């Protein structure tokens, strides 16, 4: 029989089954067969000779809609993602109003514009939001959430909610999730704001510089957001989760500090079952390389931090990779100095290529480990597996063919996104997708976007 699509003659890479030569067939959006090379035919055929076939990458940590609105970001950023082999994203999203009242409009904007699949992770900002958790899970199909420790003490002023997001809020938040009869995930932004606020102007409120003539370099961010303030907060949050037997669903987002990664390893050795995520910018940039384009919280740190993070990625302590992706324009992003610039930058499309280039091709991790941290483990952490993150019969046919030897120089034109700059602009990266398949449809073909907006859909959970 002729399947809808067949990826032929490639080397398939899966953490579950290792690396092997095979054809992979898709029918009705699902993987229908994995068979001997040359044994399958399809109405659409992708020749992967000499290349590797991976499950589509999943970026669990994006912020679509934060600067330009969700409708615009869903279209441009998912289009860009196809260039980098990303077939699913998780969008961290927070609004002060009742989610029951506002989510229909956001789903409508998303469904009409995403090239690939997506899921929401909702930031809760008040006790009223905690009361909504059963509705969010049962009616909206959203099972992942976020506790923003960086908004402690400022939530009332920033969002107009009757809550300061102190530990009593977090305690109620975790207990409510633990009481739900469905798998859930709590993303946790680790930051001790008593420390970070004392080291500089509160970054979460509008403040003026004391001396407008002073240029503040990137080191200013590193000094204000020291690694130990992240580490202490991560340990504190994980401990609270463990008190409610919820540590297996505790997900520490964007770990930037080597100290935090080491402490995560110690907690896991002590029996904690938490999951740690780091981002590509912490693995591929250092403080000295960064400028206004790289303002992000937590900031990019030292070479020593970077090497420790890679060690913890390799040994299994850090389980997943995200990007903290935000789409913005350079004219809006770049301020008078580094702290005056907008936080966040675009990076989903470079996630997999950078892991292949700096991780696999430079010998830090195996290709199988790269697949785990960019797809399989992420699917498991957010309760998408085995629908996502796997090349097996019955899974969604999300596939990426990669050429590990292809080198490209990062430019905005290459990435085809909404931003007119990249934090990696001008960097030579080796290891790029040649084809991206989203639920059985060829969406990216050697430099051309051939998919359609609206093909992507929300992944209702639990699966």
89 and 37 within one domain = no
155-170: pLDDT as tens digits? 999 999 999 999 999 9
Q: Which domain holds residue 24?
A: 2-52+396-449
Q: pTM higher than 0.75, yes or no? A: yes
318-338: pLDDT as tens digits? 999 999 999 999 999 999 999
193 and 122 within one domain = yes
Of the three residues 355, 381, 407, the one that is the final residue of a domain is: 381
Within a domain: residue 390? no
Of the three residues 381, 404, 439, the one that is the final residue of a domain is: 381
170 and 293 within one domain = yes
Between CA 70 and CA 105 the distance in angstroms is 10
195-211: pLDDT as tens digits? 999 997 665 555 455 56
254 and 403 within one domain = no
443-463: pLDDT as tens digits? 999 999 999 999 999 999 999
Short-list 380, 463, 387, 449, CA closest to 84: 449
Within a domain: residue 115? yes
**The two structure tokens encoding residue 292:** 């206004």
400 and 376 within one domain = no
CATH number where 309 lies: 3.20.20.140
For residues 141 and 460, the answer to whether their CB atoms sit within 8 Å is yes
Between CA 13 and CA 55 the distance in angstroms is 8
Within a domain: residue 329? yes
State mean pLDDT over 250-272. Answer: 98
CA dist 304 to 146, 209, 314, 323, 412, Å?
29, 31, 15, 20, 30
29 and 98 within one domain = no
Within a domain: residue 201? yes
Within a domain: residue 444? yes
27-62: pLDDT as tens digits? 999 999 999 999 999 999 999 999 999 999 999 999
Within a domain: residue 458? no
Number of structural domains (the chain) is 2
149 and 17 within one domain = no
Question: For position 207, what pLDDT does the model report?
Answer: 46
For residues 410 and 425, the answer to whether their CB atoms sit within 8 Å is yes
236 and 164 within one domain = yes
CATH number where 421 lies: 2.30.40.10
Short-list 373, 382, 149, 368, CA closest to 278: 373
249 and 117 within one domain = yes
Cis upstream peptide for 462 (omega within 30°) = yes
316 and 217 within one domain = yes
Question: For position 200, what pLDDT does the model report?
Answer: 77
142 and 215 within one domain = yes
Within a domain: residue 459? no
State mean pLDDT over 382-399. Answer: 98
Between CA 142 and CA 227 the distance in angstroms is 31
Short-list 328, 253, 345, 255, CA closest to 291: 345
State mean pLDDT over 357-370. Answer: 98
Of the three residues 381, 414, 432, the one that is the final residue of a domain is: 381
What residues pair up with 451 in beta bridges, in sequence order? Answer: none
315 and 414 within one domain = no
Could you write out the DSSP letters of every residue in 295-344?
--SSPP--HHHHHHHHHHHHTTSS-EEE--B----HHHH--SSTTTSPS-
Within a domain: residue 463? no
């Amino acid at each position: 029989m002729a399947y809808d699509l067949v990826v032929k003659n490639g080397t398939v890479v899966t953490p579950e089954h290792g690396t092997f030569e095979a054809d992979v067939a898709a029918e009705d959006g699902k993987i229908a067969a994995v068979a001997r090379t040359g044994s399958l035919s399809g109405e659409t055929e992708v020749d992967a000779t000499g290349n590797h076939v991976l499950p589509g990458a999943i970026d669990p940590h994006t912020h679509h809609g934060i600067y330009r609105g969700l409708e615009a970001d869903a279209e441009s950023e998912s289009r860009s993602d196809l260039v980098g082999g990303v077939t699913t994203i998780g969008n961290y999203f927070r609004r002060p109003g009742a989610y029951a009242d506002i989510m229909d409009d956001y789903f409508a904007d998303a469904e009409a514009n995403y090239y690939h699949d997506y899921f929401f992770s909702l930031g809760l900002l008040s006790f009223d939001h905690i009361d909504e958790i059963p509705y969010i899970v049962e009616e909206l199909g959203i099972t992942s959430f976020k506790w923003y420790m960086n908004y402690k003490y400022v939530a009332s002023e920033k969002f107009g909610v009757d809550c300061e997001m102190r530990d009593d809020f977090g305690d109620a938040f975790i207990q409510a999730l633990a009481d739900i009869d469905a798998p859930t995930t709590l993303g946790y932004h680790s930051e001790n704001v008593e420390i970070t606020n004392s080291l500089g102007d509160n970054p979460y409120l509008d403040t003026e510089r004391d001396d407008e003539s002073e240029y503040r370099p990137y080191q200013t961010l590193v000094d204000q957001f020291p690694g130990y303030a992240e580490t202490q907060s991560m340990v504190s949050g994980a401990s609270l989760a463990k008190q409610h037997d919820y540590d297996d669903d505790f997900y520490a987002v964007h770990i930037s500090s080597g100290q935090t990664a080491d402490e995560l390893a110690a907690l896991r050795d002590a029996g904690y079952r938490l999951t740690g995520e780091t981002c590509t910018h912490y693995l591929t940039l250092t403080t000295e390389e960064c400028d206004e384009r790289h303002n992000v919280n937590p900031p990019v740190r030292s070479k020593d931090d970077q090497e420790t993070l890679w060690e913890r990625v390799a040994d299994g302590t850090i389980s997943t990779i995200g990007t903290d992706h935000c789409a913005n324009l350079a004219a809006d992003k770049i301020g008078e100095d580094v702290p005056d610039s907008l936080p966040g930058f675009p990076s989903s499309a470079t996630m997999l290529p950078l892991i292949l280039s700096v991780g696999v091709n430079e010998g830090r991790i195996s290709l199988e480990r790269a697949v785990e941290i960019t797809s399989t483990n992420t699917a498991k952490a957010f309760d998408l597996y085995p629908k996502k993150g796997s090349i097996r019969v019955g899974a969604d046919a999300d596939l990426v063919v990669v050429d590990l030897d292809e080198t490209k120089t990062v430019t905005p034109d290459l990435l085809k996104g909404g931003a007119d700059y990249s934090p990696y602009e001008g960097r030579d990266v080796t290891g790029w997708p040649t084809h991206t398949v989203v639920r059985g449809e060829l969406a990216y073909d050697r430099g051309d976007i051939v998919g359609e907006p609206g093909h992507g859909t929300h992944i209702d959970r639990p699966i």
